[in-house]
Every structure is written in structure tokens, then in C-alpha cells.
Structure 1
Amino acid sequence: METSVEIEGTQPSKLIEAVLDLERIDLNLYRANDHWKEFRSKQLYGGQVVSQAMVAASKTVQPQFHIHSLHCYFTRKGNTDIPVLYQVENLRDGKSYATRLVHAIQEGKTILIMVLSFHVREESPFHHQIEMPKVPFPEELPTLIELMNQYNFSHASEKWKAKIQEVEGSGQLLEYRHIDVANILGNKSAKAHRFIWARVLGHLDDSHENIHRCSAAFISDSFIAWTAYIPHKNIRLGQIASLDHNIWFHAPFKADEWMLYELESPKTGAGRGMALGRIWRRDGVLAATIAQEILLRPQLQKPKSQL
């Protein structure tokens, strides 16, 4: 999985250099030294660790093997100031399937553990899928600049600016078109079902299918946890964090072309929330399914002082 080259004036995606270009330290051992910090947080973005773990594992299999599923747990918070080591264990190499285990490590402690399964593409007579939802195309939706003008960003409070930044995401690496911005920015509770068009900015190398899957994984952790909170905006939020992250890839796709990201949360309770996602190609093919469980806790109220 090498950095893509410029084709017909299209610049290579900054996502490769900023996130997906890992340093090889030893056999099955890789390191990410610098972390993309556009999210303005001391805590590592979960999608970054997931995608980098996928890159590390992909480097240990033959090129005909493609990631078809992964399951991971976030075990500790990651720090943006500390390099991450990715230690890959070869669990199995078969003719059609290969399995890898990855530990993402900071200061000797595991911050993420991931199991991945790789598959050599094969033909099958069994084929069906559900229908892609009918939504506006990305060209029909406002850009970030248009959203800023629509919500009077230049004169907005810091709170509203932060919300716009949350909607916009990682603006030098990815591009979004939100279909339901009013529900996101509004203070009222809304249905836990939303749609986002997303793509990687710049060009990704088409000769490496896994790089598109790693890039989609980087996108997949954006917004999914917050989907579980949308129906509960009347409750002041104290803590929200991803507990696990799971992806199944169903068909080839290009992450540098527009993909529809459908998100919904079927259940919250017991301090947790469940969120599901589907990534659709523009031509209606279901490319991936995502599932994530979220830690969801209200803000604790301070006890009133006794007079």
C-alpha cells in the first residue's frame, strides 16, 4: 500500500501522508509517529487508530487478500502527542481467508485491539441486497462555506462555531455533504436516523483496494456515536465515547468518490447506545456495514448546598 501518484492533475490525498503512511520498525511491527490533529483534541480520533491498524495488518498479507471484516475494542484513550505502535500477529493464512490480530500500543499499553479477516475475491450465485434510500445527491446539498453563510458563522458564538466544526469534520482530508443539518445543529431531540455524503479529498491509488477500505474506516467513526445522542438532546450530555467498532465490507468501492453514509441508532440504555451504519456507492450498491456500541452517560448534577 504505497502513496498514490498524481494522475491527470489530481493531487494525491493528504490522508495517505497524514494518517495511513506507517513506518516499518520490525517484522509485523509498525509505527505512526505523527497524528492528524485537526479535530483539536488531545485524544486520538478513533477512526485514525482503526484505519492505521488496518494498514498495518494489510502489509502482512499477499495483495490478492482484501479486508472483508474487522472487529475491535477501544481499551484506553489514545494521546495525540505520543507515537502509536501497531503489532500484528498472524493467526492464519489459508487459500481463501487470512486472519490477523493487531494491538495498537502507546507507552506499553494497548489502546485498541483488532481482529481482521481477509478474503480472496470469488464469484457466487448468491446475491441480494436491500434498496438504497432515496436522498438528494451531494451536488444538491450545501457546502461547508454555504453552511457557514446560512448559519451566520462569521458572527456566531464560540459554541455555534464548535458545532459547525463538528459537522464539518476533518476538512483537509475529507469532504461532507449533510442532508439533515438542522437536526444536527438544533437543540431539539430528533429521530436517530441521518444521512451524510462523504468522500476522501484528493486521489487514492486504485491499484490497492485495501487503501480505499482503510480510508472508509477513517470516515466511518465520524458522527456515528453522536447518532445515539440525537433523540436525547433534552438531557445534558456528560460523557460519550466509542467502546467498539465493527465493519463488514461487501463490495469494491472508491473512497475518493462520493459515498452515502446512512446512520441510525436502534437502542440506548444501561449507559450504552447502539449505532449502525451503511456505506452506499452512488450507483446503489451496498459497500459496507458498520456497527458500534457507545458509552453514553448524562452529566451529573451537583448537589445543592445546604443552607
Structure 2
Amino acid sequence: MKTTKALIDLLDLKPIEKNVFSGESVTIGSKIVFGGQVLAQAVNSAYRTVQDDRFIHSLHSYFLEAGDLEIPIEYNVAEMRNGGSFSTRRVTASQKGKTIFILAASFHKKENGFEHQTEMNTNIKQPEELLSWTDMVEKFGSFLPKGIKSFLSIERPIDFKPVHVPNPTKPENRPAKEEIWFKLKGDIPKMDLPLKHQILTYISDYNVLNAAFNPNAENHSFANTMTASLDHSMWFFRDFEFDDWMLFSAESPNTYGARGLVKGNIFTRDGKLVASFAQEGLMRPVVK
């Protein structure tokens, strides 16, 4: 999957019957379905059952089983509530009759109100000063561990530029934070707000657990730790466009008991807060 159009097509589910939809899968380098794909496809299915004047403002989900890349995923949407201002949906994703994922999402009609937001960290390098994953492979490919090089070499519709690039041959413990610029590649079509929400949801599952690894990076990494997303929540705030770089800013308040918690915010380049997220992930050290 190389283009923004291919990503949009992936998220555009096939209707099966009323409130039931089917989606295909594309690998991002793993042997199982990428969690961000299931999240975004579930949001797509829920959006298809609400009024056009209502937009997702929050989602809460659990990953229950690993998804099989070769089997279509069925999304079944239950209409839990249709109120005067809010609509609530429950989505169950399954393969061969087994539930692999559940999501609860709430939609709200646009209303006016007072506002404030947390500030984006502006004391960081801008995207033009940083290397993308593709740049890293081209510049340091011969020095990268095989697994890292293979993952970074996969063609994606998104460019990622981490603010801090660790040395994979000499890892160091760092603060439990992670900041990464991201941008869609190529020509970006005009999008309505529901589609932007789906794509942002897809991207939000990339890079999350990095912040939870950083304080113990000298001894632990994805190479010697079993990892899996356990749950994922998001809150959507302001409208935005994908025409410039955006900042994924995460911090991990805790790792304990083979689980790591990460929370954070997504900003436009000019500092507008468009969404917040939280995820807990399995981080089980592999015993050799």
C-alpha cells in the first residue's frame, strides 16, 4: 500500500446487509492485521449508520484476538442510542465467527461553546530538519539491524519523521516521551470530516508504545519483548487538513506488570489540537 488513495480504498468497507460491513486487510510488516486498520475500519462502519450532521467525538476499543490477514473482517454495528445531540454505536469485528475486536463510539452534532487547549511543544526540530523512515534506510541501511531495516523499508502512504532517532547499535534510556511528525504522501484528495477522522485513527496506532520503551531502552526493545495493543481510545476535537505535517506527541506515565500505558495528543503544524489518544499495550519480556 503506497498511496493515500490505496489507504482510503482500504478503509471503504463493503456493505453486506443492514449495519453489517466487510473489510480486507493489508500488512504493514507484521504477520497479523495492523490494529490501526481495524480501528479505522470500525469507525468507517459506525459512521455509515449515523446522521450526516453527527461526527465522532470519542471512541473506546479493545483488541481481543490477532486478526488473520487472509480472511475478510466482518463489522457488525449496533445502534445503541440516537438522541437529540448524540448517537452511540457499538461495533463488533469478527473473523470466522470469532470476535477479534470491539469498539464503542459516540457521535455529536456540531455545537458552539467556550474552549481552551493544551499547548504544543514548539521547542523541537521542524520536519525539514529531520530524516524520514525512508531517508534512514537510504542513509544508514547497511548499519541497521535486519528487523528494523525490513520494517522501515515497507512502502506506506504516510511519511514519519521522529524528532529523536535512537542509535539501534547503542540504545540508551530516555524520558518516557515520543514526538513524531507525520504527513500523507503524494496527492491528497479533498476529504470530508468523517474520512479525515478515519485516516487519523489509522495513523494513531503507529509509534504508540515507543514512549513506554524509552526509559528501559538499554535492555528492552521490540526485538526482545512480546508486544500487542490491548486497548485504544481517542477523543476528536477540531477540524483539520492533511495538507501539512502534523505532530504525534506521546508520553508514558507507567509501565508495570508487563503492560505499558501511553497517552498523548495530535496537533497540526501551527499548534491546533485536533485529537487526544490513550493506549495500554502488552510489554512482556521474552525469556530465553
TM-score in same-fold range (> 0.5): yes
Question: What is the rounded CA distance, in whole Å, between the counterparts of 2:210 and 2:172 in structure 1?
Answer: 14
Question: What is the rounded CA distance, in whole Å, between the counterparts of 1:57 and 1:84 in structure 2?
Answer: 14
Match of 2:25 among 35, 49, 59: 35
1:186: Cα distance to partner? Answer: 4.6
Root-mean-square deviation (Å): 2.0
Residues 258-307 of structure 1: per-residue CA shift (max 9 Å, x gap)? 21000111111122111012100112111110000111111124xxxxxx
Secondary structure, counterpart of 1:89 in structure 2: strand
1:128: Cα distance to partner? Answer: 1.0
Match for 2:129: what amino acid? E
Q: Tell me the residue number matched to 1:57.
A: 46
Query: CA 1:224–1:114 in 2, change beyond 3 Å: closer, same or farther?
Result: same
1:86 paired with 2:72, answer no
Percentage of matched positions with identical amino acids: 35
Match for 1:57: what amino acid? A
Query: CA 1:185–1:292 in 2, change beyond 3 Å: closer, same or farther?
Result: farther
1:207: Cα distance to partner? Answer: 4.9
Residues 100-150 of structure 1: per-residue CA shift (max 9 Å, x gap)? 0000101101111000000111111x2111211012221222234432343
Question: What is the rounded CA distance, in whole Å, between the counterparts of 2:97 and 2:176 in structure 1?
Answer: 38
Query: CA 1:12–1:242 in 2, change beyond 3 Å: closer, same or farther?
Result: closer
CA contact (8 A) 2:4 2:157 kept: no
Match of 1:195 among 140, 162, 179: 179
TM-score, normalised relative to structure 1: 0.86
Q: Tell me the residue number matched to 1:133.
A: 121
CA contact (8 A) 1:174 1:199 kept: yes
Question: What is the rounded CA distance, in whole Å, between the counterparts of 1:185 and 1:253 in structure 2?
Answer: 38
Question: What is the rounded CA distance, in whole Å, between the counterparts of 2:168 and 2:279 in structure 1?
Answer: 19
Question: What is the rounded CA distance, in whole Å, between the counterparts of 1:30 and 1:170 in structure 2?
Answer: 28
Q: Tell me the residue number matched to 1:270.
A: 257
Q: Tell me the residue number matched to 1:115.
A: 104
Query: CA 1:30–1:185 in 2, change beyond 3 Å: closer, same or farther?
Result: farther
Query: CA 1:273–1:291 in 2, change beyond 3 Å: closer, same or farther?
Result: same
Secondary structure, counterpart of 1:62 in structure 2: coil
Match for 2:125: what amino acid? P
Query: CA 1:22–1:203 in 2, change beyond 3 Å: closer, same or farther?
Result: farther
Q: After superposition, where does 1:243-258 map in structure 2 within 5 Å?
A: 243-258=230-245
Q: Tell me the residue number matched to 1:294.
A: 281
Secondary structure, counterpart of 2:233 in structure 1: strand
1:205: Cα distance to partner? Answer: 5.0
CA contact (8 A) 1:20 1:55 kept: yes
CA contact (8 A) 1:203 1:256 kept: no
Question: What is the rounded CA distance, in whole Å, between the counterparts of 1:64 and 1:165 in structure 2?
Answer: 43
Question: What is the rounded CA distance, in whole Å, between the counterparts of 1:13 and 1:202 in structure 2?
Answer: 9
Q: Tell me the residue number matched to 1:26.
A: 17
Secondary structure, counterpart of 2:148 in structure 1: helix
Question: What is the rounded CA distance, in whole Å, between the counterparts of 1:186 and 1:84 in structure 2?
Answer: 41
Query: CA 1:271–1:182 in 2, change beyond 3 Å: closer, same or farther?
Result: closer
Secondary structure, counterpart of 1:224 in structure 2: coil
1:102 paired with 2:102, answer no
1:176 paired with 2:168, answer no
CA contact (8 A) 1:15 1:200 kept: no
Deviates more, 1:43-52 or 1:194-203: 194-203
1:206: Cα distance to partner? Answer: 3.8
Question: What is the rounded CA distance, in whole Å, between the counterparts of 1:28 and 1:119 in structure 2?
Answer: 19
Match for 2:279: what amino acid? Q
Match for 1:283: what amino acid? D
Match of 1:46 among 32, 35, 52: 35
Secondary structure, counterpart of 1:162 in structure 2: helix
